[in-house]
Amino acid sequence: MRIWSLHPRHLDAKGLVACWRETLLAQAVLAGRTKGYQHHPQLTRFRAAADPLASVGAYLSGVSDEATARGYRFDRSRIDHDAAGSASMLVTQGQLDYEWEHLMAKLTQRSPADAERWRDAVPQPHPLFRVVPGPIEPWERA
């Protein structure tokens, strides 16, 4: 499971769809609808939020917005708590940088044109996140 701190615009089509599906799974875990992935490190930051379901809902809203901008139709009715713009979380610059390197390696392999397009870009965070100084997050399996 990879719930990117990066803005969904940086993801290729395969990555965007995977992010949507994996975050829907995270939402199901947080809502208690599935027993799998209960201890996945990616869920740590959402569990620490004041309202985990609102936070994951805001995250899904951002992914859905990007999909819509690309002409895809993600079923927004699957978001339990669509809190677009109402939730905010922190992410460290170290985490964002780490994910950027990870994404660029993936894009180089599966979508070289996207890798080239983003090669000199400054990575932006998902709209849910506000970047603060710091190293890679403790929950990351680096």
Cα 36-39-43 angle, rounded to 5 deg:
100
Average pLDDT, the chain: 93
pTM, to two decimals: 0.94
pLDDT digits (tens, 9 = 90+) for 77-126: 999 987 766 779 999 999 999 999 999 999 999 999 999 999 999 999 99
| pLDDT band per the 50, 70, 90 thresholds, residue 75 | very high
pLDDT digits (tens, 9 = 90+) for 37-57: 888 888 999 999 999 999 999
